Amino acid sequence: MKLELSEAQYRALTKLVFLGNWIANSTKLKDEQNLEMEELEQLIYSYSYEFEMNDLIEFDEKFNEYFPTRKFEEQLENFIDDYDNFNFWQELSSRLARRDLINEIGPVSKLTDRHKEREFEIEETYENEFEKNGLKNLVLKEPDKRGKLK
Reading the chain (150 residues) residue by residue, the pLDDT tens digits are 888 999 999 999 999 999 999 999 999 998 999 999 999 999 999 999 999 998 999 999 999 999 999 999 999 999 999 999 999 999 999 999 999 999 999 998 899 999 999 999 999 999 999 999 999 999 988 877 777 766
Burial class of residue 40 in the structure, from the number of CB atoms within 10 Å of its CB (0-12 exposed, 13-18 middle, 19+ buried): middle
CB 65 within 8 A of CB 21: no
Q: Looking at the whole model, is its pTM more than 0.95?
A: no
Domain limits for position 90: 77-133
90 and 125 part of one domain: yes
CB 126 within 8 A of CB 93: yes
99 and 52 part of one domain: no
Within a domain: 142: no
Within a domain: 150: no
Give the pLDDT confidence score for residue 149 in this predicted structure: 66
Within a domain: 111: yes
11 and 62 part of one domain: yes
Please state the domain count of the chain. Answer: 2
CA distance 65 to 121: 49
Comparing CA positions, the residue from 54, 46, 53 lying closest to residue 8 is: 53
Give the pLDDT confidence score for residue 33 in this predicted structure: 92
Within a domain: 118: yes
Within a domain: 146: no
